[in-house]
Chains A and B, each alone.
Chain A
Amino acid sequence: MLKQTEGSQAVAEAVALSRPEVVCAYPITPQTHIVEGVGALVKAGTLKNCEFINVESEFAALSVAIGSSAAGARTYTATASQGLLFMAEAVYNAAGLGLPIVMTVGNRAIGAPINIWNDQTDSMALKDSGWIQLHAETNQEAADLHIQAFRLAEMLSCPVMVCMDGFILTHAYERVDIPTQEEVDAFLPPFEPVQVVDPAEPYSIGAMVGPDAFTEVRYLAHHKQLRALDLIPEIAEDFEARFGRKSGGLIHPYRTEDAETIVVALGSVNGTIKDVIDAMRDDGHKIGCVAVCSFRPFPLEALRDALHDALRIVCVEKSLAIGIGGVLASAVRMSLRRLYREVFTVVAGLGGRPITRASLRDVFERAEAEMLDDVTFLDLNWEVVNAHLARAREVRKSGPIAENILKAMHADEGADIEEAEAGE
């Protein structure tokens, strides 16, 4: 049914349609509306046969999920930012134990300085934990990916993280097609766990493994994700056949035919990028883009095929690998092995900074002209940076540095105003 609804609410309804049996979460912005939505559906009796557990921390939230999933219940949780990092130990553990938990991450920056707005630093921090990581481009895709995620997780016995940009998607009202319960039931069979703690058949789950077998266990985790490279497109195709729309899959290429420049990005920023590409195509630029939906497993082959004929690649990333630059660009370079292509990193939208079409067009044109630096920070305010760098060379003063910078900037402004007033 078509609905004008908030992204979080659409995801909550999609999760409820997937019939989770245990849902537990701790509130953190911008994830809160999602679990509030699921909680309300449980409380209202719309989502039946589901335990909604309130917990004291994100660490506990995923730990409860580990217990319920190991005991054979379809399990869902959601988090963001500091919450994801607080549960980091359990994130690795859920993957190591092979538990098919589905978790939404409402992507948000990581402090310090504390910042509630969107970027993708949080999920990037846990990209190598063994979770499958799918990035939604729109609210429709976010909702659809959750239904697909449960099927994928349970087929592989592997946890799946569905990432959606905080606020930009979670809090945005858009038209979303929410499927019926019958449609979802036909697509998503009931959960049949491959391993379960049950007195009828006692297993020990979570034994200590020494050097003799640990590498093999890790290899098998890697192997499982490689299997997902086949399953993710299969599930997306089946979804399209049943629900009549494309959602999920490994990558979404857009106007890449004859493109000399291809932009690669994750999540909602692809919408803006497509607008820029349309405008540039109208002006005769040979440019296209590829949205990466499956960041883990990383679709090396699919991306290599998509990028094969381009001359250069621009990775627009809403995260920063401090000390090297681009997280996405590193993976993209791997997909280009033995192909020489220029790969540029554009770090954009950190901590919720708007990513404008004008700024994107500027960097894309500079890339076309081979004028772009390897790593570019979109719309970086050099005044602030230089003020700090100059300050850092001076004798250090007490107090928070950010505060001092602002004070210094305001002092300058004040002087300007005084001068202007005096002039009048």
Chain B
Amino acid sequence: MTTDPVKTEPAVGSGAQQKVKFYQTGTHTVGNRLLDEAQRTVQASMDRSNAITSGHRACQGCGEALGARYALDAAMMATEGQLIAVNATGCLEVFTTPYPETSWQIPWLHSLFGNAPAVATGVAAALRVKGRDNVRVVAQGGDGGTVDIGFGCLSGMFERNDDVLYICYDNEAYMNTGVQRSSATPPAARTATTPAVGDEPGNVFGTGKNLPLIAMAHNIPYVATASVADLHDLEEKVTKAMSIHGARYIHIMVPCPLGWGAASHDTMKLARLAVQSGIFPLFEAEHGEVKTVQKIRRKVPVEEYLKPQKRFAHLFKGEGDVDRIAAIQRMADANIKRFGLLDGEER
């Protein structure tokens, strides 16, 4: 016997839209309603799509909940609600579907930790054979499910150029199981498996995977990085990705207050500092070539990004770990150079 599928209100269907409540009115916080209609974000619309309803159980300040809602709402808008989501095991799956409840307003399928790309391939194949070309598939997972355990399936999905958009919500460790290192964990970061002890506390330098670049090496039609620091940009990239057929990959940085040891209200600030320091470059690539980059408005030193996070606290003890902070700064500078992130710098 199956676990009974959880029925949700058929709020989306072909309309894909739903009246939603705005918590703050009279401010500009919920979008850009002062802009022209065409320039407004998906979330700024009064009858926006709503993939994940409020009332889910994510932590306060969760970057992933925010990123997922914006990404999937944009994908819903782009497909007029004809969207199926496949989810890897992880925080997003756990906090949205404690049986018998579900926060998903769209058809949603969770199988295992490591197979979301392959399951999405299967859904896409079934839609193709059924002649339902208008229904599209988004697969999603955290960094653990994407860069580590699901990597083989993801590479296979890329290689076959299956018509799936895969979104990785990168919070840089295994947060659902209590903050252990993944191969997306940055150097020097303290996690439960890279403790802040020893000569070189935290995660070691020179390891890890840059999945956007690996995705580009598969020569798939579209690869992009995005951040909850710039939700407008995130929506645009998802919208663009949904206009393309074939394998697509978007890597979204989503700070995790719990895992990073940061204040819940600092999620957006940290995401912005990651971008503005060059730690997390925002770019788009098509068929393996970088096409656009988001320039850095005001380059900030990496200390500003590292300092508010307890996972880097050991770098600032006493006189501070000057060498390793400098090494992180060199990584940020290398990104700035590689992608031409500063005005006047050619890529």
Q: For window 52-74 of chain A, which residues contact chain B by CB distance below 8 Å? A: 53-57, 59-60, 63-73
Instruction: State whether A67 and B160 are in contact (beta carbons under 8 Å apart), knowing that A93-B112, A195-B5 are contacts in the complex.
Output: no
Least CB distance, A85 to chain B, in whole angstroms: 15
Least CB distance, B120 to chain A, in whole angstroms: 6
Q: For window 74-99 of chain B, which residues contact chain A by CB distance below 8 Å? A: 81-84, 86-87, 93-94, 97-99
Determine the chain A residues whose CB is within 8 A of the CB of B104 once the complex forms: 202, 204
Please, which residue of chain B has its CB at the minimum distance from the CB of A203? B5
Pick from B81, B84, B109, B114 the residue with the most CB of A within 10 Å: B109
Q: For window 141-176 of chain B, which residues contact chain A by CB distance below 8 Å? A: 152-153, 155-156, 159-160
Determine the chain A residues whose CB is within 8 A of the CB of B125 once the complex forms: 22, 24, 51, 53, 64, 67-68, 73
Is A199 within 8 A of B1, CB to CB? Answer: no
| Interface presence of B241 (CB below 8 A) | no
Instruction: State whether A217 and B120 are in contact (beta carbons under 8 Å apart), knowing that A60-B152, A67-B86 are contacts in the complex.
Output: no
Is B99 within 8 A of A197, CB to CB? Answer: no
Instruction: State whether A197 and B108 are in contact (beta carbons under 8 Å apart), knowing that A22-B129, A67-B119, A205-B5 are contacts in the complex.
Output: yes
Determine the chain B residues whose CB is within 8 A of the CB of A119 once the complex forms: none
Q: How far is the CA of A68 from the CA of B123 in the complex (A)?
A: 5
Q: How far is the CA of A22 from the CA of B83 in the complex (A)?
A: 20
Least CB distance, B262 to chain A, in whole angstroms: 26
Determine the chain B residues whose CB is within 8 A of the CB of A98 once the complex forms: 1-3
| Interface presence of B189 (CB below 8 A) | no
Q: How far is the CA of A155 from the CA of B306 in the complex (A)?
A: 57
Is A67 within 8 A of B98, CB to CB? Answer: no
Is B126 within 8 A of A199, CB to CB? Answer: no
Determine the chain B residues whose CB is within 8 A of the CB of A96 once the complex forms: 2-3
Least CB distance, A77 to chain B, in whole angstroms: 10
Q: Which residue from B84, B122, B156 sits with its C-beta under 8 Å from A69?
A: B122
| Interface presence of A323 (CB below 8 A) | no
| Interface presence of A209 (CB below 8 A) | yes
Determine the chain B residues whose CB is within 8 A of the CB of A24 once the complex forms: 122, 125
| Interface presence of B12 (CB below 8 A) | yes
Determine the chain A residues whose CB is within 8 A of the CB of B111 once the complex forms: 63, 66-67, 90, 93, 97, 206
| Interface presence of B102 (CB below 8 A) | yes
Pick from B102, B108, B127, B156 the residue with the most CB of A within 10 Å: B156
Q: How far is the CA of A65 from the CA of B153 in the complex (A)?
A: 13
Least CB distance, A90 to chain B, in whole angstroms: 6
Q: For window 220-253 of chain A, which residues contact chain B by CB distance below 8 Å? A: 220-221, 223-224
Least CB distance, B327 to chain A, in whole angstroms: 36
Please, which residue of chain A has its CB at the minimum distance from the CB of B131? A49
> SS class of chain A's interface: helix, strand, loop or mixed?
mixed
Q: Which residue from B100, B107, B127, B155 sits with its C-beta under 8 Å from A203?
A: B107
Determine the chain B residues whose CB is within 8 A of the CB of A70 once the complex forms: 109, 119, 122-123, 126
Q: How far is the CA of A70 from the CA of B135 in the complex (A)?
A: 14
| Interface presence of A261 (CB below 8 A) | no
Pick from B114, B124, B129, B152 the residue with the most CB of A within 10 Å: B129
Determine the chain A residues whose CB is within 8 A of the CB of B135 once the complex forms: 198-199
Q: Which residue from A57, A67, A200, A207 sits with its C-beta under 8 Å from B120?
A: A67
| Interface presence of A374 (CB below 8 A) | no
Is A59 within 8 A of B1, CB to CB? Answer: no
Least CB distance, B92 to chain A, in whole angstroms: 11
Q: How far is the CA of A404 from the CA of B143 in the complex (A)?
A: 46
Q: How far is the CA of A219 from the CA of B120 in the complex (A)?
A: 29
Is A207 within 8 A of B3, CB to CB? Answer: yes
Is B122 within 8 A of A199, CB to CB? Answer: no
Instruction: State whether A202 and B2 are in contact (beta carbons under 8 Å apart), knowing that A64-B119, A67-B119, A90-B111 are contacts in the complex.
Output: no
Q: Which residue from A202, A217, A224 sits with its C-beta under 8 Å from B107?
A: A202
Please, which residue of chain B has its CB at the minimum distance from the CB of A201? B10
Please, which residue of chain A has its CB at the minimum distance from the CB of B11? A202
Determine the chain B residues whose CB is within 8 A of the CB of A202 once the complex forms: 8, 10, 12, 104-108
Determine the chain A residues whose CB is within 8 A of the CB of B152 once the complex forms: 56-57, 59-60
Least CB distance, B116 to chain A, in whole angstroms: 8
**12 additional A-B residue pairs with CB within 8 Å, beyond A67-B124, A207-B6:** A63-B115, A67-B122, A67-B123, A68-B123, A70-B109, A70-B122, A199-B83, A199-B135, A206-B3, A207-B97, A207-B98, A207-B99
A interface residues with partner B (beta carbon < 8 Å): 21-22, 24, 49-51, 53-57, 59-60, 63-73, 75, 89-90, 93, 96-99, 157, 195, 197-210, 213, 217, 219-221, 223-224
Query: Can you pick out 17 interface pairs between chain A and chain B where the beta carbons lie within 8 Å of each other?
Result: A22-B126, A57-B156, A60-B115, A63-B153, A64-B119, A64-B121, A67-B120, A71-B122, A71-B127, A73-B125, A197-B84, A203-B7, A204-B5, A204-B97, A207-B101, A209-B99, A221-B1
